Structure 1
């Protein structure tokens, strides 16, 4: 059986790019304004607050995991309030490789593992648009176990530490998406996969993208009426069924074109288009260039 979440993660190609252990003492606040770079944070000890643009502030505790797939402006601050008029805090690098926020001396109130990952897929923006803007996981036993392993590995100076951390963080990423699929998250692909009726239709789209699907046929796969399916899909996933199907077909087509797996006509057939010309029109509208042009640029 096709697993849509596994396919999305596989196409995203998540990679750990940078991580650091940060200790906070007293009052501090850090802020990021740039967008587009995936950010994650694991709370190893202590607590703090996270504010993401467009979302309510989130209280973070030891064992929590946060992923912002396409980081918009956000700020993290200590539980100890900043004095009025105080500016943002600049992290200070310590000799042991850790970074310090707030006072330079004294026992840490909080320890975090923070960093940036990257999505190697050229279709990352399209796929990330199907994920929640903020993934916050708290109180999950499996995730807490992984966080504990990450914390233990981050403190030790064992051989291949960075390699082990990278693998653990990949597993954290996937587990966080699994948990989010079961939660009351905003509309996203993950919520669609958590809805048994919608998940059946999504799986069928992934299993057979070449089929000339209609909303009525997909509704039948979900055992729902056409109107109920259409409304429920848009409300839960955040896009209309055929919009999702087109986005998925284009992601697959770009992958096939990059990997030179057949000519334009063959790829058109594999992703559900009756002719190369119809596929070329749809691809150009979606991607901004004809498929042949896209394939040449991937050399």
Structure 2
């Protein structure tokens, strides 16, 4: 039985999109607007400034890792960036998947591995809502090694490439988020799992989604009073306990519906509804589509 974090990463179905090596020198600034794919990078050498929209700039140094699970616009630049009225730098490909940016006659000041991935699931919103919007980790040796493996595998055209890349990305994401659990600061799954009492309840929900959970039952599992558990869960995860239960049931249901290999009655039983009609009503209320229409759209 997978733990909650593994459950969510598995359901996101990460797939490799694009990866490259960036070498930068002198004064430079790269702007990316409306990036559609999750973004990650690791600094191998030197330093630079990373400025995601809506967040304070981050000075990155060798060994730093950054992940943005959802699309976002951002700016990369040298620590001494060009004047704001100058045009943004345009990376030039100098060899396959290796890019140069900045001034040709200047010394290198940053060597960065950059990657984008895709989440194959069509309904990542509820899953991503449980995860941090941005992860920055210092001295990320294990993550650096994983990113290097992703880029190496991306360049190769060996048998099983797509499967290996998918598994590497799953490991990369899980390692990122469980490392971040040491210093969670925004409500979400990682904050809940970092709380030993709440973690017990969250694992119970994931291990037996068919159980007709109540707040009282989950509070008992967490060894907390009902009122304390409710407030603590909501503050930590950003959902009430029952909102989380329903959201997780619907995430599982969507996966089962997309497989087109389960009856409505079977899905209802698997995720804790007494009948197909009860499941259909809950699903329609949560998604705005009936299960049958959702399944039909997933074929489109």
Q: So what's the TM-score if we normalise by structure 2?
A: 0.90
Matched pairs, number: 297
1:263 corresponds to which residue? 263
Return closer, same or farther for 1:283/1:84 CA change in 2, 3 Å cut-off. Answer: closer
* 2: CA distance, partners of 1:162 / 1:73: 33
Return closer, same or farther for 1:251/1:79 CA change in 2, 3 Å cut-off. Answer: same
5+ residue gaps in structure 2? none
CA contact (8 A) 1:11 1:121 kept: yes
* 1: CA distance, partners of 2:217 / 2:53: 39
2:275 corresponds to which residue? 275
CA contact (8 A) 2:215 2:230 kept: yes
CA contact (8 A) 1:219 1:226 kept: yes
Return closer, same or farther for 1:294/1:20 CA change in 2, 3 Å cut-off. Answer: same
2:132 aligned with 1:132 = yes
1:242 corresponds to which residue? 242
* 2: CA distance, partners of 1:287 / 1:159: 40
1:182 corresponds to which residue? 182
2:19 corresponds to which residue? 19
Deviations 1:61-89 (A, max 9, x none): 11111110002222111112323522321
Deviation at 1:168, TM superposition (A): 4.7
* 1: CA distance, partners of 2:107 / 2:214: 61
CA contact (8 A) 1:44 1:151 kept: no
Return closer, same or farther for 1:51/1:84 CA change in 2, 3 Å cut-off. Answer: closer
2:113 corresponds to which residue? 113
User: SS state of the match for residue 108, structure 2?
Assistant: coil
Deviation at 1:123, TM superposition (A): 2.3
1:251 corresponds to which residue? 251
Deviation at 1:145, TM superposition (A): 4.8
Deviations 1:11-69 (A, max 9, x none): 11111110111111111111222154211111111111111222222121111111100
Return closer, same or farther for 1:216/1:67 CA change in 2, 3 Å cut-off. Answer: same
Return closer, same or farther for 1:163/1:113 CA change in 2, 3 Å cut-off. Answer: farther
Return closer, same or farther for 1:145/1:87 CA change in 2, 3 Å cut-off. Answer: same
CA contact (8 A) 2:20 2:151 kept: no
* 2: CA distance, partners of 1:265 / 1:151: 41
* 1: CA distance, partners of 2:20 / 2:159: 12
Deviation at 1:140, TM superposition (A): 4.1
Return closer, same or farther for 1:95/1:253 CA change in 2, 3 Å cut-off. Answer: closer
* 2: CA distance, partners of 1:35 / 1:222: 40
5+ residue gaps in structure 1? none
Matches within 5 A, 1:206-245: 206-245=206-245
* 1: CA distance, partners of 2:227 / 2:173: 35
* 1: CA distance, partners of 2:52 / 2:96: 30
1:47 corresponds to which residue? 47
CA contact (8 A) 2:65 2:140 kept: no
* 2: CA distance, partners of 1:179 / 1:49: 22
CA contact (8 A) 2:21 2:111 kept: yes
Q: Which segment is superposed worse, 45-54 or 83-92?
A: 83-92
Return closer, same or farther for 1:103/1:18 CA change in 2, 3 Å cut-off. Answer: same
Return closer, same or farther for 1:161/1:74 CA change in 2, 3 Å cut-off. Answer: farther
* 2: CA distance, partners of 1:216 / 1:48: 50
* 2: CA distance, partners of 1:18 / 1:2: 28
User: SS state of the match for residue 232, structure 1?
Assistant: helix
Matches within 5 A, 1:44-123: 44-95=44-95, 97-123=97-123
Q: So what's the TM-score if we normalise by structure 1?
A: 0.90
2:292 corresponds to which residue? 292
User: SS state of the match for residue 181, structure 2?
Assistant: helix
* 2: CA distance, partners of 1:152 / 1:252: 31
